[in-house]
Amino acid sequence: MHGASPSTSSGTTAHLVDRHPTVTPERLVAQLVPPPTFADVSFDTYRPDPGEPSQSDAVRSCEQFCTEAAQRRAGKKKLFGKREVLPGVGVYLDGGFGVGKTHLLASTYYRLVAADAGPAAFATFGELTQLAGVFGFVECIELLSGYVVVCIDEFELDDPGNTTLISRLLSALVERGVSIAATSNTLPEQLGEGRFAAQDFLREINTLSQIFTTVRIEGPDYRHRDLPPAPQPPSDEDVRARAEGVEGATLDDFDALCAHLATMHPSRYNALIEGVTEVFVTGVHPIEDQSVALRLVSLTDRLYDAGIPIVASGSKLDTVFSEEMLAGGFRKKYLRATSRLLALTHAGQE
């Protein structure tokens, strides 16, 4: 969708619930790039914490990976000038929230693009599964087999089907000379733990762990450094009044927005917020339904990637996901979303 941007010229703030985007397969391919918030990053702009040597080590590991990935894509010379395709390599950046994993992943993407080693792809784990769903498994392999690297941010396994799908997809790509770089908060051999019967597809998980060299990155969440706790939310009236004064803003009721998210596939959320400058939401409250919560996580990820501030009334945004949910299998996903919601809320105060 390339629809009109939200406008306040009529005196009425636009609403996300009035937008009904569609996404073509061509757009899904065009979106295989780092998000806007990481459009200008590089290894040189990464600022390792002096007290966390693993961060400097991670930069060197990623730079070495780029060198190896380019060599693998180029292949090995044989007789008569032909080249033999070499299997790709893998690097897996594991660490807590906010230690700069995505920064390093995007830097890897840009380093290989700048080296003219071949096309590169960047996607979240969810976007990669969506791509396979849209194009089909075999077609997705053909689509990505010419890439020098596929970068996968926030590698997560939410169900056995995705585990099998992505494991086989990555194995096929590596065989064709594509290298894989990934980030996650969970080590490859632990993927799936606490969510479902991991032993039912242990072979697939083992295959994934064999592809990657794991690089551990330690450190506190930079989004929380020098930040106060979640701010006291403004009133509904304040949120509405502020929204009226911001060009390109949207204003929605929390329940209505959550219901609207259910009407479309998460692959459309990027198009849903296209052109939005700031998101205003009234009536936020804790969520009890897992499906609603996971859709909100997907929207939060897209808002964070785009750097769109949030101003919300009702409950504090660090209370949206219930204690019961935080104790379940999607705990890391909800904690990441909470971290990002708080960062976007503080951005909305500036």
SS (H, E, C) 206-232: HHHHHHCEEEEECCCCHHHCCCCCCCC
| pLDDT for 162 | 76
Interval 210-225 mean pLDDT? 76
Long-range contacts of 319-326 (CB under 8 A, 24+ apart): 319/230, 319/286, 320/284, 320/285, 320/286, 320/287, 320/293, 320/296, 321/286, 321/287, 321/293, 322/286, 322/287, 322/288, 325/287, 325/290, 325/293
| pLDDT for 165 | 84
pTM of the model: 0.74
CA gap 246, 11 in Å, rounded: 11
Q: In this predicted model, which residue has the larger pLDDT, 285 or 13?
A: 285
Residue 4: inside a domain:
no
Query: Do the beta carbons of residue 117 and residue 148 sit within 8 Å?
Result: yes
Verify that 168 and 186 share a domain, yes or no: yes
Strand partners, 204: none
Q: Is the pLDDT of residue 109 over 50?
A: yes
| pLDDT for 210 | 80
Q: What is the pLDDT of residues 174-210, one digit of tens each?
A: 999 999 999 876 555 554 444 434 444 456 667 777 8
Verify that 328 and 288 share a domain, yes or no: yes
What percentage of the chain carries pLDDT values higher than 70? Answer: 83
CA gap 140, 145 in Å, rounded: 8
What confidence category does residue 325 fall into, taking pLDDT thresholds of 50, 70 and 90?
confident
Verify that 240 and 200 share a domain, yes or no: no
Q: Is the pLDDT of residue 5 over 70?
A: no
What sections of 116-189 are H helices per DSSP? 125-135, 137-144, 160-175
What confidence category does residue 25 fall into, taking pLDDT thresholds of 50, 70 and 90?
confident
Instruction: Say which DSSP state 14 is in.
Output: B
| pLDDT for 160 | 67
What percentage of the chain carries pLDDT values higher than 90? Answer: 48
Number of domains in the chain: 2
Strand partners, 312: 281
Q: Is the pLDDT of residue 6 over 90?
A: no
Residue 37: inside a domain:
no
AA identity, residue 222: Y
Interval 98-123 mean pLDDT? 93
Residue 70: inside a domain:
yes
Residue 7: inside a domain:
no
- Does residue 338 sit in helix, strand or coil? helix
Verify that 188 and 60 share a domain, yes or no: yes
Q: What is the pLDDT of residues 34-50, one digit of tens each?
A: 988 899 999 999 988 88
Question: Residue 120 CB: number of other CB atoms within 10 A?
Answer: 25
Point out the domain boundary residue: 172, 190, 219: 219
Verify that 272 and 341 share a domain, yes or no: yes
Interval 161-167 mean pLDDT? 79
| pLDDT for 1 | 39
Point out the domain boundary residue: 195, 219, 243: 219
| pLDDT for 279 | 97
Query: Do the beta carbons of residue 21 and residue 262 sit within 8 Å?
Result: no
- Does residue 72 sit in helix, strand or coil? helix
Verify that 287 and 164 share a domain, yes or no: no
Residue 2: inside a domain:
no
Residue 138: inside a domain:
yes
Residue 300: inside a domain:
yes
H helix or E strand, kind and range, residue 283: strand 278-284
Verify that 213 and 329 share a domain, yes or no: no
CA gap 74, 68 in Å, rounded: 10
Verify that 187 and 334 share a domain, yes or no: no
| pLDDT for 12 | 76
Interval 208-215 mean pLDDT? 81
Query: Do the beta carbons of residue 2 and residue 274 sit within 8 Å?
Result: yes
Verify that 129 and 198 share a domain, yes or no: yes
Strand partners, 91: 181, 213
Interval 11-32 mean pLDDT? 85
Residue 8: inside a domain:
no
Point out the domain boundary residue: 219, 250, 278: 219
CA gap 73, 148 in Å, rounded: 6
Helices and strands, number each (H, E), in the chain: 13, 10
Verify that 144 and 214 share a domain, yes or no: yes
Burial readout 257-294 (b: 16 or more C-beta within 10 A, e: otherwise): bbebbeebebbbbbbbbbbbbbbbbbbbeebeebeebb
Verify that 110 and 209 share a domain, yes or no: yes
CA gap 170, 150 in Å, rounded: 9
The domain in which residue 202 lies consists of 50-219
Verify that 214 and 252 share a domain, yes or no: no
Name, of 69-78, 131-140, 191-200, 310-319, the range with top average pLDDT: 310-319
AA identity, residue 119: P
* CATH code at position 134: 3.40.50.300
